[in-house]
Amino acid sequence: MYDYDLLVVGSANADLVIGVERRPGAGETVLGSDLAVHPGGKGANQAVAAARLGARTALLARVGDDGHGRLLLESQRAAGVDTVGVLVGGAPTGVALITVDPSGDNSIVVSPGANGRLTPGDVRAATSLFHASRVVSTQLEIPLETVVEVVRNLAPGSRFVLNPSPPRPLPAEVLAACDPLIVNEHEAKVILGEACVSDRPEDWAGLLLAKGPRSVVVTLGAEGSLVASSPTDVTRVASVKVDAVDTTGAGDAFTAALAFRLGAGASLADAAAYASRVGAVAVTRQGAQDSFPTAREVEAL
C-alpha cells in the first residue's frame, strides 16, 4: 500500500513574471507590465498540479531560508502537498525570470540557487519517501547526478516519469528507467542530437525508444501529443482547443496529470488525453501554479 500517488523530485523557484508586447532581441530594451511574483519551478509546479487533481503528493526539493522559500512552502501546503521532503538552506531560493507576450508564449531564464544544492545524498536520505510512492517524477532543473540517484533509489514496482527540461544528453541508466520519457520538440531534438534527421514526431518517438525508455510521450502544443510504447505502437492524442492566455506551467500541469493517471492504472493514451485537458485549462489563466485546475474543473471542460 502506497502512502503517496506521486513523489516529485525537482526544482522550486520564485517566478518573476513581466508581460511584454514583444520579447526583446539582442541588445534591446522593452518596457513591460508590473512585476508579479509567483511560486514556481518545475518540481514545485508538478507537485501542486497533482495535488489539485486529488493526488496524494509529496515533494523532495531544496529552497533557501528566505522570503521566496517561505512563499514556496506556503503554496505547497495550501495545495495539500506533503513538504516533509523539502529541505531549507544552503543557498538562496531559485528564481525564474519570465517574459510573457500577448499570445501567451513565454521566455524563461532560471537562476538555480538552492536547486543546484539538492544532492544525491539528499535523495539517499529520503529513501522512505521513495518506498512510499507509487510514481516518481523528476526534471532536469536539479543536478543530473541527483536524477541518477533518484533512479537508483526507486522502489520495486514504482514507476519513473522524466521530463528532461532543460534538455541535455542523458545516461543510459536514466533513459532505461523512463516510463514514460516526456519531451517537446526542442527536448526531443537535443536528446537525439545528430540522430534526429526527420521532422516527423512519430520518427522522433521511435528514435527515442531506441535509446532505452520503456515509453515516450511527445507534446506538440496546439497539435496535441503522441504516445509510443514501441515503434509500431504510436498513437496521436488530440489537443483541446482553448484561447491561450499564458502557457507558463502548462507543460508541468500536463506531466503531473499524466503521471497521476498512470499511477491510477490508466493507459498511456488515456493518461495523455486527460493531461491534455488539464493543460488546456491551465493556459486559459495567468501564472503557473495559480492556473492549475481541480479535478472538477477538468471534468467540466
**252 in active site:** yes
The reply, when asked if residue 141 is annotated as ligand binding, is yes
Q: Tell me: is residue 5 an annotated ligand-binding position.
A: no
**Hey, where are the domains in the chain?**
4-300
Q: Is 43 a known ligand-binding residue?
A: yes
Q: What is the 3-state secondary structure (H, E, C) of the chain?
A: CCCEEEEEECCCEEEEEEEECCCCCCCCCCCECCCEEEEECHHHHHHHHHHHCCCCEEEEEEECCCHHHHHHHHHHHHHCCEEEEEEECCCCCEEEEEEECCCCCEEEEEECHHHHHCCHHHHHHCHHHHHCEEEEEEECCCCHHHHHHHHHCCCCCCEEEEECCCCCCCCHHHHHHEEEEEECHHHHHHHHHHHCCCCCHHHHHHHHHCCCCCCEEEECHHHCEEEEEECCEEEEECCCCCCCCCCCCHHHHHHHHHHHHHHCCCCHHHHHHHHHHHHHHHCCCCCCHHHCCCHHHHHHC
**Predicted confidence (pLDDT) at residue 247 exceeds the cutoff of 80:** no
Q: Does pTM surpass 0.75? A: yes
From the list 5, 82, 179, 252, the catalytic residue is: 252
pLDDT in tens, 204-235: 999 999 999 999 999 988 888 999 998 888 88
Per-residue model confidence as pLDDT tens digits over 70-97: 999 999 999 999 999 999 999 999 998 9
Domain covering 4-300, topology: UDP-N-acetylmuramoyl-L-alanine:D-glutamate ligase (3.40.1190)
Binding residue per annotation — 222? yes
Q: Which residues pair with 61 in a beta bridge?
A: 86
Band (pLDDT 50/70/90 cuts) for residue 177 is very high
Count Cα atoms within 13 angstroms, Cβ side, for 222.
Answer: 7
Q: Which residues of 10-41 are buried (b: 16+ CB within 10 A; e: fewer)?
A: bbbbbbbbebbeeeeeeeeeeeeeeeeebbbb
How many residues belong to the chain?
301
pLDDT for 115-163, tens place per residue? 999 999 999 999 999 999 999 999 999 999 999 999 999 999 999 999 9
